[in-house]
Amino acid sequence: MIIAGIDMGVQNTRAVIIKDNVVIGRGAAPTGGIDRPEMAMKAYEDALSAAGIAAGDVSKVYATGKGKFDVAFADAVLTETVAAARAARFYFPEATAVFSVGADETLAAALGRERLISEFVLNQKCSAGLGIFITYLARRLGMTMAQAAAVDVADACAVNDGCVVFAELDALSMMNSGEDADAIMAAAIKAVAVRAATVLCDLTAPVGDKVVLVGGFTQSPAFLKALSSCMGREFLVPDDAEFCGAVGAALAGAEAE
Amino acid sequence: MKGQIWETRPLECWNLAKEIRRSYDGAIAGKDKVLGQGMSSFTLDWASAFPAIRVVEDNPVGAMMAAQDEPFARKARLASEVRGWGREICGYHNNCWGAQFLGHTSDGNPFPEREFTVPFPCVCDSHIKRGQQCRDYKPIARWTNDFTMYIGERDEKREEAMLDHRNYNTLKMLNEMEIVFGQKLDDEMIYDMAKSYTNIGDIRSEIAYYMTFKPTPLTVKDMYSFFQLRPSPKMGPDVLAKFWESLRDEVKWRVENKIAAVGTERFRWLEAHPPPWHYLKYYRYMEQYGAVCLGSQYANLRELLIEPDGSYEVRSYTEPAFSADMELTTREDAVRFMTTPDARSPRHWKIEEYIEPYKLNDMMKIYNCDGALLGLWRAGVGCTLTRKEQAIRLREEGYSVMVYEGSQPGDRVDLDEKRLLEQLDTWMESLGFRKFED
């Protein structure tokens, strides 16, 4: 059976085609604004093209992500937590927890044996928009996202890690006092890592030693280093980390049928 | 209905409930009344026994404001905040106080001026401040209605002294009100109320017992509507008692015939505390998943006597303090008759967190529940004490628990409604449930 998953995030949309539990095609598009339904279709068509099949060959399409209700052609929608958890188990069958840090949402789930998810935590207002903040700050600092992802966080100074609004004010103060862009970005990434970590720490169930990290921030070595440093643990990052939402939606959706 | 498992039908006594409510609303309307701010509790609705003294509580006023007119509620909160009342104050207080500062309600009518206040202390943080705000606003009479709270070992002598204090306060207040406002308290009505309310207390306990059955004949959202019913001159305590008797009979019949409150019931849950009062619609949202809320420590704890080994019995409101048919011949008799069992009951559910931390676990078993929903409040924060620990205790026993953030009663500022619904979706989906409409 061939199934498809679409993960429409706040900034990026990913699509995958899965045949017999193997990902055979991937597609991506910026989520866009008012044209989100078209962007979902574009990512899907890219994935179909990469898989070398037509839409008619796909049995079911499952959507997840903040924009999941804009994927008009989806047969069903799934919550981001369920999709992330299912993907974590797909890539790492021994996974004990999943941790997703994206443009808007941060979520953590402890994975169980009898039930896939034994406990979950979604960020509340104060941890929303971490990825969007870094994107915005990079633009302001004249950096590309690749440059932002490569800064050295080892000796970064601290900015406010309670709220990105305050973090931004601290970053502006650093700009005004002549700090260089790399140092400002490093401080911001460190703050974002601390803020994201609070969500994982909010789980009361033991997270175990195999925590799978997914979401857009997996593409930032600087963030990975800052997160590992502040939490004192390493994370398992799938090769396909950016596509995990889509993979998980497809698998969990099909299993729920 | 899609996903229907059980036979269901509307409650027949809803019509009488609505009639009682309308009658009460009519009784507090009008310009000839002396209005006061404070607590006119279910167990001691003393104000109704005066010809023209009525209590306007902050709770329903503030909560209704948030539910019906959010722009006005925001304006009111701002008016309160700029005068120094912080966001940690219960949302419904801030709404209500702000309207008082603005001088009008959301429909443009003048805010009902209060001539007295009767605050009572409560660990949630701000009940006692209700009186302070009123007095700051305008010099008015103030009486205090104490609780008999003590979290140490049961000590009968201490309890007796605390009850004497409370009863003295209440009697003093009633006597002084007669002098200050020149109105005579109808003692016969107080006797009737004492009897009918204690009778209602026993009936509520029976109903709580019937709600342990599967499918439940009643949900907590129904109960919240009924809790708020108050007598009026036209529909007095006897009518209220009759209503509860008919509700009990109907609920019993529904249990015997497996008539469900929600035809799709397949997941039963409890909460530690109700949601923000303006947001009761989330019960209906959960019902789309077949998830039915049976109540909370807040709503149900007093109804059943739960022993340390988890066994329980339906609680009698009067026994063993008094005989239910005891003759009441003085005002003091009536006050003691009502306050004594109330003080000895486990109704001060917040204390449970300190002395019986596994009580919610016990309730989960008794009510045959599958999961629990616990709120963490940014306002009314005393209600949030030990919630996370409670979640751990529930998970230890294998229950699924969801924790969410918001602000307790009547305030939308810190409740992200969309976020909460996403969390509810995630909770249900993680347990393998889909909405029946999907």
Which of chain A's residues have a Cβ under 8 Å away from the Cβ of B424?
A: none
Place of tokens 């807040």: B298
**Model confidence at B123: pLDDT above 60:** no
Burial A1-29 (b: 16+ CB within 10 A, else e): ebbbbbbbbbebbbbbbbeeeebbbbbbb
Per DSSP, the three-state class of A120 is: strand
**Per-residue pLDDT tens over the stretch A84-110:** 999 999 999 999 999 999 998 999 999
Per DSSP, the three-state class of B418 is: helix
Which of chain B's residues have a Cβ under 8 Å away from the Cβ of A255?
A: none
User: Which of B395, B404, B405, B430 has the highest number of chain A CBs within 10 A, making it the mutation to test binding with A?
Assistant: B430
Q: For B285-312, what is the mean pLDDT?
A: 87
Closest residue of chain B to A204, computed from CA coordinates: B392
Among A204-213, A215-224, B100-109, B254-263, whose mean pLDDT is lowest? B100-109
DSSP string of A138-191, one letter each residue: HHHHT--HHHHHT---TT------S-HHHHHHHHHHHHHTT--HHHHHHHHHHH
Place of tokens 């409650």: B11
Residue B38 CB contacts under 8 Å (≥ 6 apart), including other chains: B55, B57, B116, B117, B118, B119, B120, B130, B131, B143, B145
Per-residue confidence band for B87, with pLDDT thresholds at 50, 70 and 90: confident
What backbone torsions phi and psi does residue A203 show, to the nearest 5 degrees?
-65, 135
**Model confidence at A243: pLDDT above 50:** yes
Residue B214 to residues B208, B294, B305, Cα–Cα distance (Å) = 13, 11, 20
Which of chain A's residues have a Cβ under 8 Å away from the Cβ of B401?
A: 119
**Per-residue pLDDT tens over the stretch B171-182:** 999 999 999 999
Q: For B297-323, what is the mean pLDDT?
A: 79
B392 vs chain A: nearest CA distance in angstroms? 6
- The Cα B264–Cα B288 span in angstroms is 8
Please tell me which residue, B86 or A102, carries the higher pLDDT value. Answer: A102
To the nearest whole number, what is the mean pLDDT of chain B? Answer: 84
Place of tokens 């949630």: B124
Which of chain B's residues have a Cβ under 8 Å away from the Cβ of A119?
A: 395, 401
Q: Do B425 and A115 touch (CB under 8 A)?
A: no
Residue B249 CB contacts under 8 Å (≥ 6 apart), including other chains: none
Per-residue pLDDT, B52: 85
**Model confidence at B17: pLDDT above 70:** yes
Look up residue B380 and give its two tokens. Answer: 């009314």
Look up residue A4 and give its two tokens. Answer: 């498809």
Please tell me which residue, A95 or A34, carries the higher pLDDT value. Answer: A95
Closest residue of chain A to B391, computed from CA coordinates: A204
DSSP string of B95-110, one letter each residue: HHHHHHHHTB-TTSSB
Per-residue pLDDT, A137: 94
Q: Which amino acid would we find at residue B363?
A: M
Closest residue of chain B to A202, computed from CA coordinates: B388
Per-residue confidence band for A231, with pLDDT thresholds at 50, 70 and 90: very high
Q: Do A119 and B392 touch (CB under 8 A)?
A: no
- The Cα B188–Cα B74 span in angstroms is 44
- The Cα B14–Cα B30 span in angstroms is 26
Q: For B158-163, what is the mean pLDDT?
A: 84
User: Which of A60, A66, A75, A81 has the highest number of chain B CBs within 10 A, making it the mutation to test binding with B?
Assistant: A81
Which of chain A's residues have a Cβ under 8 Å away from the Cβ of B392?
A: 204
Q: Do B403 and A124 touch (CB under 8 A)?
A: no
Q: For B232-240, what is the mean pLDDT?
A: 83
Closest residue of chain B to A75, computed from CA coordinates: B438
Beta-carbon neighbour count of residue A247 at 10 Å? 27
Per-residue pLDDT, A221: 96
Which of chain A's residues have a Cβ under 8 Å away from the Cβ of B388?
A: 204
Per-residue confidence band for B130, with pLDDT thresholds at 50, 70 and 90: confident
Which of chain B's residues have a Cβ under 8 Å away from the Cβ of A66?
A: none
A146 vs chain B: nearest CA distance in angstroms? 31
**Model confidence at A119: pLDDT above 70:** yes
Sign of CA dihedral B282, B285, B286, B290: positive
**Per-residue pLDDT tens over the stretch B324-355:** 788 999 999 998 888 777 665 555 555 666 66
Q: Do B427 and A204 touch (CB under 8 A)?
A: no
Closest residue of chain A to B424, computed from CA coordinates: A79
A10 vs chain B: nearest CA distance in angstroms? 15
**Per-residue pLDDT tens over the stretch A14-23:** 999 999 999 9
Q: Do A205 and B395 touch (CB under 8 A)?
A: yes
Give the DSSP H/E element, type plus range, for residue B350.
helix B349-355
Per DSSP, the three-state class of B404 is: strand
| Beta strand B7-8 pairing with B259-260 | parallel
Burial B10-49 (b: 16+ CB within 10 A, else e): ebebeebbeebbebbeebbeeeebbbbbbbbbbbbbbbbb
Q: Tell me the residues of B at the A interface, defined by beta carbons under 8 Å apart.
A: 388, 391-392, 395, 400-403, 405, 414, 416, 419, 422-423, 425-427, 429-432, 434, 438
**Rounded to 5 degrees, what angle do the CA atoms A32, A37, A40 make?**
75
**Cβ neighbourhood burial of A257 (10 Å; 0-12, 13-18, 19+):** exposed
Instruction: Please name the member of B391, B405, B426 whose beta carbon is closest to the beta carbon of A81.
Output: B426
Give the distance, in angstroms, between the CA of residue B156 and the centroid of all CA atoms in the same chain. Answer: 27
**Model confidence at B413: pLDDT above 80:** no
Which of chain B's residues have a Cβ under 8 Å away from the Cβ of A76?
A: 438
Q: Do A121 and B403 touch (CB under 8 A)?
A: yes
User: Which of A75, A104, A204 has the highest number of chain B CBs within 10 A, making it the mutation to test binding with B?
Assistant: A204
Per-residue pLDDT, B30: 63
Per-residue pLDDT, B409: 64
Reading across the β-sheet that carries A211-214, which strands appear in turn? Answer: A117-122, A106-111, A97-101, A211-214
Beta bridge pairs of residue A22 = A19
Q: For B255-284, what is the mean pLDDT?
A: 91
Look up residue A120 and give its two tokens. Answer: 């979950």
Beta bridge pairs of residue A117 = A111
Please tell me which residue, B301 or B6, carries the higher pLDDT value. Answer: B6
Per-residue pLDDT, B42: 46
Give the DSSP H/E element, type plus range, for residue B163.
helix B156-181
What backbone torsions phi and psi does residue B272 show, to the nearest 5 degrees?
-75, -30
DSSP string of B175-199, one letter each residue: HHHHHHH-----HHHHHHHHHHHHH
Q: Tell me the residues of A at the B interface, defined by beta carbons under 8 Å apart.
A: 76, 78-82, 85, 109, 115-122, 124-125, 204-205, 256
Q: Give the number of beta-carbon pairs within 8 Å between A and B.
A: 48
CA atoms within 13 A on the CB side of B365: 13
Closest residue of chain B to A117, computed from CA coordinates: B430
Longest dimension (CA), chain A: 59
Q: Which of B46, B42, B39 is nearest to B331 (CA)?
A: B46
Per DSSP, the three-state class of B348 is: coil
Check: complex ipTM more than 0.85: yes
Look up residue B89 and give its two tokens. Answer: 């104050």
Which of chain A's residues have a Cβ under 8 Å away from the Cβ of B372?
A: none
Q: Do B430 and A79 touch (CB under 8 A)?
A: yes
Give the DSSP H/E element, type plus range, for residue B375.
strand B371-377
Q: Do A256 and B432 touch (CB under 8 A)?
A: yes
User: Which of B390, B402, B426 has the highest number of chain A CBs within 10 A, making it the mutation to test binding with A?
Assistant: B426
Beta bridge pairs of residue B117 = B37, B142
Q: Are A28 and A46 in contact (CB under 8 A)?
A: yes
**Model confidence at A149: pLDDT above 60:** yes
Q: Which amino acid would we find at residue B233?
A: P
Among A131-135, A170-174, A177-181, B62-66, whose mean pLDDT is lowest? B62-66
**Model confidence at B387: pLDDT above 70:** yes
- The Cα A51–Cα A18 span in angstroms is 9
Instruction: Please name the member of A82, A119, A121 whose beta carbon is closest to the beta carbon of B429.
Output: A82
Among B242-251, B379-388, B426-435, whose mean pLDDT is lowest? B379-388
Closest residue of chain A to B423, computed from CA coordinates: A122
